[in-house]
Chain A
Amino acid sequence: MSNFSVTTPSKRQKWVAGILVTLYALITLMPLVWIIMTGFKSSADSIAYPPKVIFSPSLEGYVNLFTSQTRLTSEQVATTPPPATWYDKLVRSHQMVIVGPSRFGQRFLNSVIIGFGSTFLSVSLGTLAAYAFSRFKVPIKEDLLFFILSTRMMPPIAAAIPIFLMFRELGLSDTKLGMILLYTGVNLSLAVWLLKGFIDEIPFEYEEAALIDGYTRFQAFYKVVLPQAATGIASTAIFCLIFAWNEYAFAVLLTSGNAQTAPPFIPTIIGFGGLDWPAVAAGTTIFLLPIMIFTILLRKHLLRGITFGAVRK
């Protein structure tokens, strides 16, 4: 067995690779861990210097994130009934009282609707377009594909001002529909290209076999092509969702009240005396969860998705 064997790494090689991967994982996980930790700190601990690694955990950040509060004067303290729940108590210890839920829930819901809505649209339109490009004689196909790709050659935000004006004219500013359309527009070119690659790899014979077996063209598409393109569709969906979920610049520019998503909202959570860091961190943590779960669920597909082309089949 040669020293340069590609198939079976030696024990030492395995160790070195393991250590490198662990180091890399630690470095990339650090900010994440810090955010999660900060979410469980008290306000004072969160800005302590030197930074506290050991601290007594508190749910203050999460309570502040989900509620809006107001400060009580000492007379008011005397007249209000004693706190009924654990979060009431927590808030009261800072001379505050909960007056209602915060806007975080609604912003989060906006993110979900806009993120998943635009992902669904991008992937469905992308699949149909990719199928057509892959299977049919489309006039000037190459030019069209290049044109579709070219929409990604500059950062989308470069077109911010025309889009802003267009949205204002069309009454799409600060609407969920507007944001869904915008993110779909941005994601569609990626979706078409990725999916075309996947559909190209499905031999046309499968559909022809289905045609001969007595299925219509459209039945052949959804009974044969769709199941086999599942991997491609899943990984495309993740890429689209990640973009739409994390998008910040357009969200700041085009939304304010009604359709604002979580990213522009979270950094503006202000407590008394400046930014409420534990609440910001708590919001970030919660915001990260859906995409993490989605990615972990689909990670097998995703891996095959990003390596497609390199590793065929």
Chain B
Amino acid sequence: MAEIVIDNLRKDYGDFTAVEASSFKVCDGEFFMLLGPSGCGKTTTMRMIAGLEMPTSGKIYIDGEDVSGKPAADRDIAFVFQMFALYPHLNVRNNIIYPLKSEGMPRAQINKKLAEVSKILGIEDILKRPVGGLSGGDRQRVALGRAIVRDPKAFLMDEPLGALDVEFRERMAEELRALHDRMNATTIYVTHDQLEAMQMGDKIVVMNHGVIEQFGAPQIIYDKPATMFVANFIGSPSMNFLRFAGKVSPNDTSVLLGEHTVDVPRQLAAHEGGLVLGIRPEHIILSDDGAYRAEVLASEYLGTNQIITLNTAHGQIKARIRADKTVTTGANVGLKFNSAQITLFEEQSEKAILSELNEGVLEDG
């Protein structure tokens, strides 16, 4: 298994830059998520790691070895494609053993590997079937089988569940994660689904417009977003942004939001001008003695909790509160913020301002 390091990777298509100076590190055995909206350069990044696309500049290291110039065949990694690329003219068995044949592995050993892999994936019964008639889930299993049969250094999966039905996705996602835990293979997994990334990943890279916005464990990315893009992209409903003009200086523990003083984590940098106070819906508390007032616009019942849409002096925000609390539309309520979980952003650059909360997590990205 392997450690993969991406160093300043860049890919231009003519004038268009699909990936701009990406750097990140995937540790051995990690389940690594590459997350971002459609068109942000995830597939391009993966294809460069796989060797299907040559980077314009930058380096790729697999286990310390610079493989940037090596052809795909020599990198010893497996790729599970966005659309399952099973060979339609071969049956399930031959699809799976196809990579072994290229290595010229002896027949007995091939059969042994095949038995092993088909047992792991639970596809022993369909080995003789043509791949044409298989269900989406089975096709994905076969595609996985072809990837794992080779014991590659790493797996690259490009939205492997993208073509499956919703209910099936969840099951496959669990299967995939379980498979990973059993084999402990370094895996880079591409998705545009933030929930999938949060659920499955050991670590997440968030990309936008070819740029890496942040890189870290799911909880870090969720609680300590480095940019407004990350804060907005992750979580549903996403982080609330209250825009205001003001000033922060090092060691400040509060900011002036309009005429209200709001406590924030101890700040470590200075900024003056447009500021954005970012707070997640679950960190807003409805409290009658709260000084910051808001009008209830709507509530959405979600079983264990409810999402309240509020109109404030700084725009509409959402709060997630317990479902048993009665809230009437139109009511004027007081709000309190869970101060430890507030992130301040510079409005202009959309970057988080360094504070006690996000200290040490911002430099990646």
Interface set of A (CB-CB < 8 Å, partner B): 203, 205-206, 208-216, 219, 224, 227-228, 230
Q: How far is the CA of A210 from the CA of B85 in the complex (A)?
A: 10
Q: Which of A208, A214, A216, A230 contacts B85 (CB 8 A)?
A: A208
Interface set of B (CB-CB < 8 Å, partner A): 50-52, 71-73, 75, 77-79, 81-83, 85, 87-89, 98-99, 102-103, 146, 150
Give the Cβ gap from B48 to chain A, nearest Cβ, in Å: 13
- Supposing A208-B52, A208-B79, A209-B79 touch, asked if A215 and B85 sit within 8 A by C-beta, the answer is no
Cβ contact within 8 Å between A203 and B99: no
Cβ contact within 8 Å between B85 and A203: yes
Chain B residues near A230: list those with CB within 8 A. Answer: 89
| Extra inter-chain contacts (12) besides given A208-B79, A212-B50, A212-B51, CB under 8 Å | A203-B83, A205-B81, A205-B82, A206-B87, A208-B81, A209-B85, A209-B146, A211-B73, A212-B52, A213-B99, A214-B99, A215-B102
Q: How far is the CA of A228 from the CA of B89 in the complex (A)?
A: 7
Can you identify 25 A-B contacts, CB atoms within 8 angstroms? A203-B83, A203-B85, A205-B81, A205-B82, A205-B85, A206-B87, A208-B72, A208-B81, A209-B85, A210-B98, A210-B102, A211-B71, A211-B72, A212-B51, A212-B52, A212-B72, A212-B73, A212-B77, A213-B99, A213-B146, A214-B103, A215-B73, A219-B102, A227-B89, A230-B89
Best-surrounded residue of A208, A212, A215, A224 (most CB of chain B within 10 A): A212
Chain A residues near B99: list those with CB within 8 A. Answer: 213-214
Best-surrounded residue of B51, B83, B98, B103 (most CB of chain A within 10 A): B98
Closest A residue by C-beta to B47: A208
Closest B residue by C-beta to A217: B71
Closest A residue by C-beta to B52: A208
- Supposing A208-B52, A208-B72, A208-B79 touch, asked if A213 and B85 sit within 8 A by C-beta, the answer is no
Q: Which of B52, B82, B83, B146 contacts A211 (CB 8 A)?
A: B52
Chain B residues near A227: list those with CB within 8 A. Answer: 87, 89
Cβ contact within 8 Å between B52 and A216: no
Chain A residues near B72: list those with CB within 8 A. Answer: 208, 211-212
Give the Cβ gap from B101 to chain A, nearest Cβ, in Å: 9
- Supposing A212-B50, A213-B102 touch, asked if A206 and B85 sit within 8 A by C-beta, the answer is yes
Chain A residues near B146: list those with CB within 8 A. Answer: 209, 213
Closest A residue by C-beta to B84: A205
Q: Which of B52, B73, B88 contacts A214 (CB 8 A)?
A: B73
Give the Cβ gap from B122 to chain A, nearest Cβ, in Å: 22
Cβ contact within 8 Å between B83 and A205: yes
Closest A residue by C-beta to B102: A214
Q: How far is the CA of A121 from the CA of B1 in the complex (A)?
A: 48
Q: How far is the CA of A219 from the CA of B101 in the complex (A)?
A: 12
Chain A residues near B102: list those with CB within 8 A. Answer: 210, 213-215, 219
Closest A residue by C-beta to B88: A228
Cβ contact within 8 Å between B83 and A212: no
Q: How far is the CA of A212 from the CA of B79 in the complex (A)?
A: 7
Q: Which 4 A-B pairs have the closest CB atoms?
A: A205-B85, A213-B99, A214-B102, A209-B85
Q: How far is the CA of A214 from the CA of B79 in the complex (A)?
A: 12
Give the Cβ gap from B185 to chain A, nearest Cβ, in Å: 15
Q: How far is the CA of A215 from the CA of B74 in the complex (A)?
A: 10
Give the Cβ gap from A265 to chain B, nearest Cβ, in Å: 42
Give the Cβ gap from A174 to chain B, nearest Cβ, in Å: 43
Chain A residues near B88: list those with CB within 8 A. Answer: 228
Best-surrounded residue of B50, B51, B78, B79 (most CB of chain A within 10 A): B79
Q: How far is the CA of A216 from the CA of B52 in the complex (A)?
A: 12
Closest B residue by C-beta to A211: B72
Q: How far is the CA of A224 from the CA of B83 in the complex (A)?
A: 17
Give the Cβ gap from A223 to chain B, nearest Cβ, in Å: 9
Cβ contact within 8 Å between B78 and A224: no
Cβ contact within 8 Å between A224 and B87: yes
Cβ contact within 8 Å between A212 and B78: yes
Give the Cβ gap from B81 to chain A, nearest Cβ, in Å: 5
Closest B residue by C-beta to A214: B102
Chain A residues near B98: list those with CB within 8 A. Answer: 210, 213
Q: How far is the CA of A230 from the CA of B89 in the complex (A)?
A: 10
Q: How far is the CA of A203 from the CA of B82 in the complex (A)?
A: 12
Give the Cβ gap from A115 to chain B, nearest Cβ, in Å: 28
